[in-house]
Structure 1
Amino acid sequence: MATPPTTTTTTTTPIFISTTTLRSILSHKTLITHLQTTLPNATLSLSTPPRHSLSTSQNSTLLLMPSFSTSPSLPYIGVKLVTSHPQNSSLNLPGIHACYTLFNSLTGQTLALFDATELTLFRTSSISALASSYLSKNNPHVLVMVGSGNLSPHLIKAHLSVRPTIKRVIIWNRTTEKAAALAARLTAEEGFKTVSFESNGCLETVVGLGDIVCCATNSETELVKGVDLKEGAHLDLIGSFKPSMKECDDVAIKRGKVFVDNEVALEEAGELVGAFDRGVISKGDICGTLVELIEGKKIGRKNDEEITVFKSVGSGVVDLLTAQLVYETVITDLTEQN
């Protein structure tokens, strides 16, 4: 993490941090390390009001995610605005768009504006991979990616960064051509020559192969069946952020040791809310949060036979910490150039 520069409290002109700049600064590995070292303390010092979720149409959602701190070591207010339009896939457009504004919490000055779509992709995938470093087996070989949207390549790369023993990635999507296209694109990229990328149209078959099964969809009907998960699998659920959405069935939740990114998941994640309502599990059966795993207060995987589940819904804390890393790096670079 960069040391907060003195210009944080003196600059008067907000800077715009483009996607290109953000990509030049962030990598999944560096962000995972930053989150691992800063999340426990930030969770204590940051105030994060409940996320506002507003339906703007039958299929579209506007999310408002604020977080703020007056601590001198983290003097920021951050607000992210996110639009979710799942129907955009038919237009060949991303389903998620976002912008982020960073303020100085001591003076109220606007510090930076971000094109936060990429910020969201980096932070979401890095949180999943960080959780996987505690919950998946130490030597997984097969990663199954359910979904092939813009988040999917980030998730694949993030998981590969913490589990380099993965040698086979199988991608499934309802539209088989999209899964095949993503597999081909990743195959052509530098840096993954030891990894095999492929697509498969039979979800039940590929789920049973996965040491890690990662889901990033907008599904409102269960996709992953718990009976198909193999012994020792880790199930990573990212897509749902409201009770009507779910990516797995009750059997998967019942079979697994379930951890969440934060307590909000207990109220928003369809997989969990539905399981609570049906008496499949209770809130007391949730094994812990990501911060508790990092701090060692909760133990994740105890052996290679356990099935683990991680459900994330996102939080303003992680957005702010990601924005902090990018902003402070940009300001430091600008200071060194002057």
Structure 2
Amino acid sequence: MDKILQIGDAFIEQSTVFSELIQELKQSFSNKDVMVPLRHHHDFPNLEVNSESTLLLMPAWNPGKVAGVKIVTVNPENSRFNLPSIQGTYIYFNALKGTIKAIIEAKSLTVKRTAAASALASSYLSKKDSKSLLMIGTGALSINLIKAHASVRPIKNVFIWGRHMEKAEAIAAELQNEKFHVYPIETIEEKISEVDIISSATLSKTPLVLGELLKSGQHIDLVGAYKPDMREANDEVIKKSSIFIDTYQGGLKESGDIVIPLKNGILKEKDIKADLFELCSNQKPGRQNINEITFFKSVGHSLEDLTAATYYYNKYTNE
């Protein structure tokens, strides 16, 4: 039996080139080789912290080649323990033999592929000359979203907001040697009307991106709010924007940013312009003009995990 490789945080962090990973995702979304069932989503009580946690099981397979399943828990109150909210592992299989090729640290894999998917969408939806970015949220995703967006657009200035200013300041310090400048800000309102791209990755149950403050030509990238009772943008954002999602399979069911407007009649399913499969295969267009406000909602997809797992496995084995 072949040795099972262990691919950890450090390797993933050191080996990621966002332009490469984005291209791999684009290739995967442009064909239909990978089969992806709807992911298992189970909420369970976490009484000690008076909150619900979530168990996610996310399988995918390319028949006769590779397969994988991500097992993840999401614990919104993990900041109390100085831990990221996302924990888990990815099991990567030889789909022909059913043997395990590698066990990959899922937290790092998830944040990298999520950021890369947002940047992939941005390459179709944001203005090509986008130079400024507002990052809402200071969790594990924020640094990766900033770097990924900057890999597809000529970002010069990044403004970052979080509920704790010291976290925003720490991220700015960590990114001080990048080609762009990062500025912590005290309120979202002071910059939201000025930037070209707004990216939000929070677990907020009340909207942080308000449509009343938007300007023409902006791109909105929503990555957090992974449950139907959570949302990061209000109804006015929906009314003003052209709506795109990562996949119809999960995007229509899992996040309040889409589910609540659909339920309330603010949004109709037919109003959604395209998903990543349609964008990457050129079945449907992205941004149509410089004044359009584009809105991308990501809930994650197992295709992204399998693509990222293959990317890191090949790098690890020099294939």
TM range (shorter): over 0.9
The yes-or-no answer on 1:247 pairing with 2:239 is: no
Q: Secondary structure at the match of 2:252?
A: helix
- AA in 1 matched with 2:66: Y
Q: Which residue of 2 aligns with 1:22?
A: 12
Q: What is the aligned counterpart of 2:241 among 256, 269, 275?
A: 256
On the 8 A contact 1:13/1:111 being kept in 2, the answer is yes
Structure 2 letter corresponding to 1:257: S
Partner of 1:303, secondary structure, is coil
Q: Does 1:59 align with 2:59?
A: no
Out of 79, 102, 107, the residue aligned to residue 117 of structure 1 is 107
Displaced runs of 4+ in structure 1, greater than 3 A?
none
Alignment of 1:70-219 (within 5 A): 70-71=63-64, 75-164=65-154, 166-187=155-176, 190=177, 192-193=178-179, 195-219=180-204
Separation in 2, partners of 1:217, 1:136:
21
SS at match of 1:112: strand
Amino acid at match of 1:56: F
Residue 223, structure 1, aligned to residue 211, structure 2:
no
Separation in 2, partners of 1:141, 1:50: 36
Specify every segment of 5 or more residues in structure 2 that has no aligned partner in the other structure, as ranges: 46-50
Is the 2:29–2:281 contact (alpha carbons within 8 Å) kept by the matching residues of 1?
A: no
Residue 69 of structure 1 corresponds to which residue in structure 2?
62
Aligned length: 313
Higher helix fraction: Structure 1 or Structure 2?
1
Cα distance in 2 for residues equivalent to 1:70 and 1:185: 41
Matches within 5 A, 1:236-315: 236-263=221-248, 264-315=250-301
Identical aligned residues as a percent: 41
SS of the residue 2:52 aligns to: coil
Unaligned runs of 5+ in 1: 1-10, 334-338
C-alpha separation in 1, matches of 2:74 and 2:288: 37
Residues 91-112 of structure 1 show CA distances to partners (whole Å, capped at 9, x for unaligned) of 3211111200011111111110
Residue in structure 1 matched with residue 48 of structure 2 by the alignment = none
Structure 2 residue aligned with 1:235: 220
Query: 2-side partners of 1:213 and 1:173: how far apart?
Result: 14
Query: Is residue 217–residue 239 contact of structure 1 (8 Å, CA) maintained in 2?
Result: yes
Distance 1:133 1:66 in 2: 27
Moved more, 320-329 or 177-186: 177-186
In structure 1, what is the Cα distance between the partners aligned to 2:306 and 2:291? 36
* Contact 1:210/1:229 (8 A) holds in 2: no
Residues 180-236 of structure 1 show CA distances to partners (whole Å, capped at 9, x for unaligned) of 22122212xx3x24x221011121222112210000000111111011111100000
Q: Distance in 1 between matches of 2:204 and 2:14?
A: 32
Mapped partners of 2:153, 2:316: distance in 1: 29
User: Is 1:204–1:224's contact at 8 Å kept on the other side of the alignment?
Assistant: no
- Partner deviation per Cα, 1:96-148 (whole Å, 9 max, x = no partner): 11200011111111110011111111100000001001100111121000001
Distance in 2 (alpha carbons) for counterparts of 1:159 and 1:332:
27
**SS in structure 1 at match of 2:191:** helix
